Structure 1
């Protein structure tokens, strides 16, 4: 890979057509919800009676508002959700994209050095794990250092998590700015058990999706 002199301005992921991207840095929540719901129900099969579509639409909008509010509280950049009109909207999985800055450490000459060693990144992740299981690995994605973290998060009704979930995070160092990290956090409850076959299949799908990740420059 050629030496990078300036950080990328964006990224690309090859998402299936039934997943929708919700940008969180621009626009108002109601405008976002209305646009997504309108686009989704425009594709609804013509044989579905209107009196059945209306409750589906209201439930979709309610869940969208809740998902957007939670992602904004976490200072996320985008959220991706699966949308299906053939049945109940599936919010058993999500992808939240954010940016992180890992604190620098001091070099022997007293200058600040960005954390870029996978072992250091892993140590910082473990220190924040709060005792949950962790599966850590490192490698490269589109020529940039990447650390993958997988864990099972227990249910926490007090924080709105009624069921345990399987979570996979990818932290990718931003080229040209090693103190910045792109973070893609995937979460699923599977079919009700974060370790069941559906959860395994969805985790494999997310790993394959991240293989399509590419940086972009304006």
Structure 2
């Protein structure tokens, strides 16, 4: 169905056109036609009507990222946060030796240490969620260069409304389609928050691993 190589244009034209053909063939078969005939459903004239790879591909990326973050990542992080907060409470009266430069330092409760871990995850969630408004803005309707040429004037808003209906997420039509087509700033912004979170989680794991490294106290 998708005989493509990994190398393709940044606009994702090959993937977009391949998807149009797959959807066309599925519709043709359901209508009793012959696969590959392009009749009665043409991949370009019907499936791709009022669209372009330049707005469809970034729109697909935004929807995919939003759903992964909202449906999987944030719930998993909140589950981790709840576990860290439970340890914070359980260890609130357990005094241990703090650590600086991998050496024993002044006393601290284990609960205080875990409060730091919990706060780091909590802030990581907030930073990621702060990036989502940009992800919710969709390029669809800008067509080839952002002018919306060959698309119905209400297509962009109607499309966004339908995606909201299907996903229950607050997607909107991007206010400036030229920016939405020409840049990936929103995705880069989200990537930065994800990179910060990843570094934080790695740090938490290392802190817990080093907790028993001595030289005199764990």
Normalising by structure 1, we get a TM-score of 0.27
| Greater relative contact order, per chain length (Cα 8 Å cut-off, separation 6+) | 1
Bigger fraction of residues in strand: 1
Higher Rg: 2
Normalising by structure 2, we get a TM-score of 0.27
